[in-house]
Amino acid sequence: MSQGPTRPSESQNQSPYTEFPKSLLIRRDLVKMPKALRAEINDVVVKYTERKLRKDGTLDVAVMAHEMTQSLVDMIVDQDEHHHAPLLALMILSLGDEYLQRTGIGERRDN
């Protein structure tokens, strides 16, 4: 019984979704970054959170999630229109997969 493709480790910094059309890869060459994009984004979110808490004393996580979603939609609509639906699908799939991996829900359902 096949268990499907294995998920590469985060240190490889590669998408586990190789089944998606290669045309979704906007850049053909690798971009060297000193930090993973996720780490850069997390740094921005932490700074925003600290600043917001100092200023207001409270933080509305739902509003933050909505604003982050707006940024993802900006990324989608900046691409050629024929890439919109597959890229949106990839983002939704990635979000769900990451959530299941981190919470262990996917592993519990397999048992």
pLDDT, tens only, 25-34 = 544 455 565 6
Dihedral sign from CA coordinates of 28, 10, 69, 53: negative
Considering the domain boundaries, does residue 25 fall inside one? no
Considering the domain boundaries, does residue 2 fall inside one? no
Question: Among candidates 4, 36, 33, 34, which has minimal Cα distance to 17?
Answer: 4
**Cα–Cα dist 42/82, whole Å:** 30
Domain containing 88: what range? 35-106
Considering the domain boundaries, does residue 24 fall inside one? no
Considering the domain boundaries, does residue 14 fall inside one? no
- Confirm if 82 and 88 have CB atoms less than 8 A apart: no
Considering the domain boundaries, does residue 16 fall inside one? no
Considering the domain boundaries, does residue 61 fall inside one? yes
pTM of structure:
0.62
Considering the domain boundaries, does residue 52 fall inside one? yes
pLDDT, tens only, 38-50 = 899 999 999 999 9
Query: How far from chain centre, in Å, is Cα 100?
Result: 13
What is the model's pLDDT at position 37?
87
- Confirm if 22 and 86 have CB atoms less than 8 A apart: no
